Chain A
Amino acid sequence: MSLPPSFSRDVSALPTHALSYRSLTWWGIIGFMVIEGSAFVLTFAAYFFLMSQEQEWAPRPWDPPGLVAGTIFTVVLLLSEIPNTMIKKAAEGYDVAAVRRLLPGMVGIGLLLFVIRGFEFNSLNVLWNDNAYGSIIWALLFLHTTHVVTDWIDTVVLWRLMKTAHGEEPRRIVDTDENSLYWRFVWLTWLPVYVLIYWVPRFFR
Chain B
Amino acid sequence: MVRDTWLIFRRDLALSLRNPAWIMLGIMQPLLYLVLFGPLMEKVVSSTPGFPPGSSWTILTPALIVQLALFSASFAGFSLLTDYRNGVLERLRVTPASRTGLLLGKVGNNAVQTVAQAVLITVLAYLVFGLDAPVGGVLLSLVIVALTAVTLASASYAVALTIRNEQAFPALLNAVLMPVLLLSGILLPITSILAPGWLYTLSRINPFTHVVDAERASFRGDFTFGGLFSGAMILVVMAVLAVWWGARTFQRENA
Tell me whether A and B are bound partners.
no
Chain A residues within 8 Å of B, Cβ to Cβ: none
Chain B residues within 8 Å of A, Cβ to Cβ: none
